[in-house]
Chain A
Amino acid sequence: MIQIRIHGRGGQGVVTAAEMVSIAAFEQGKFAQAFPSFGSERTGAPVVSFCRIDDKPIRLREPISAPDALIVQDAHLLHQVNVFQGLKNDGFVLINSRQTWAEMGLDEIAARLGPGRLVTLAASDIAMRHIGRPLPNAVLLGGFAALTGIITLEAVVHAIGDKFKGDVAKRNIAAATEAYATLSHSLEVST
C-alpha cells in the first residue's frame, strides 16, 4: 500500500488534489481511498488530505501518519507545520516553490531520502501562466506523476477531466502536462 499526504492551505484545493490522485489510481486499475483531514478550515488555514493506493481493497481508515509520499502545496507551511512527520526513509517529497531544496535548507531530509526523492516545482508560477490563478494542486499532480511514477500523467489528465469542466479542465491539464515535462527533464539531468 502506498500512502500519500498532501499539505496546503484552505482554498488551494488540497482535498481536491487527494481526490484526483485517487481517481487517477482508480483509472490505473488500483484501489484508492482519499479523504480530507475533516476540518471546517476556512481559506488560508493549514489543511491536510490523504490518499491510499493499493492492489487490494483498502480497509484501513485511520489518518496517514507514516506517508510514502508528501505533496506540499505551500512552502511556507514548512515553518508552521511538521510536514515531514512520520515520512518514510525511502519516501518522496514534492514542494511547491521557486527555490531549490538546498536553498530552502532541507539538506538533512534530502540526504535521508537520497537523490531524486525530494524536489521542488514552481507550481504556482505554472498555474498563473495557464490558469491565471495561483492554484497549484493539479499542476503538482503532473509533477507528482513525474517524480514518483505512482500515477501516470495520462491518469492525472483523466482525473483533472473528471473533477473540472470545460476550459478550466483544459488549462489545468496543460499546466499539469508542463509540470510533468519540466520535472521529468530536471530529474533526468540530475541523475
Chain B
Amino acid sequence: MTQEVKFYQTGTFTVGNRLLDEGQRTVQASVARSNALTSGHRACQGCGEALGARFAVDAAMRATQGQLIAANATGCLEVFSTPYPETSWQLPWLHSLFGNAAAVGSGIAAALKVKAIKAGKAQSEVRVIAQGGDGGTTDIGFGCLSGMFERNDDVLYICYDNEGYMNTGVQRSSATPPGARTATTVPLGPNPGEEFGRGKNVPLIAVAHGIPYVATATVADLHDLEAKVEKAMSLRGARYLQIFVPCPLGWGAASCDTIRLARLARETGLFPVFEAEHGEIASVTKIRHPAKVEEYLRLQKRFAHLFGAHGRPDIIARIQGIADKNIKRFGLIAEEVAP
C-alpha cells in the first residue's frame, strides 16, 4: 500500500497554502473570499473566536455562493462585531437575544422556505447559520438549540467554545473544564477552580439528536474547519459545529499562543475532534504528536494554581485522566500498524 503524502511544515502541522494546488488552498488564501466578518472589529488581540468566525463564515459564504444569513446570540462576537453604528458583517445579520439564536435561525429558515415555495422552488437557495459562544449555546440557549435539532430545521449552528462567559467577565459555563479558574469558580478550598464531574458535552448531545451532521474543530486546523463548514453546508436539516476557540483574556494566555493552545487541546485529547452523521460517529481526527495536559495547562493562568510550590499535581493527574479517557473513547491515537 502506498503511503499518503503528508505536508508537514517545520514547527507546525499546518499545511502551507503555497505547497497546495490552488483548488486545495484555504478560503482565506483566496483574494475572492467574502470577508464576511471584515476588519475593524473590536476583538482582543489573539481572539480565537474572531479567527474561528472569520474562517467559518467565509467558508459558509463560499459554499453557498454568498447566499447566507446569520443569526447571532448575545456575546463577545456580537459585541465586538457591531459597535453601533458600525458593523463588521458583510452579510445580512440579526442579533436578537442571548438564549435564542437557534430559534431565530429556525424562524429565518422557515421564512426563506416559504419565499422559495412562492418563487416556485422546492427549497431555499439562501441558507442560514446561527452562532453563539458556549454560554449562549450550552447553557441559556440550550432549549432553543435542542428544539432546532429535533425539528431538523435547516440551520447550521456554530458554537464558538471558549469555555466560559468571557463577555461578562470570565464566569463559569457548562463548558468550563474541571480545575479551571473563573470569576465564579475561584481557586480556593480543597477543590480549586471548576469542580470535577460537572459540565456537558453538547457535541455528543447533538449527535444523540440524530441530526444530519455534527462536527468539532479547532482554530489550530483551519483547513479542517473550512472543510467541515463546507460539508455542513452541502447538507440540509439541522447541523452543529463546535469550534474550540482559545480566549487569551479569559484564560490568561499570551495572544500569540491561541493557535498553540487550540492545537494542544486536540493533541492532548482534551478536545476530541470528530464528525458524526445521523447519530453515528463518522470520522475522528487522530492525534499525530501526543502531548501531556501539563504542557497545555502551563500556558494558561486559569490553571496557575495547579503549579508551583502549592501546586496540585493530583488535579493535573485527574485532568490527564479526562484526556486519556477521551483518547480511549474516541480512538484518538492510531493503532500501531505492523510494518
Are chains A and B touching in the complex at the 8 Å CB cutoff?
no
B interface, CB within 8 angstroms of A: none
A interface, CB within 8 angstroms of B: none
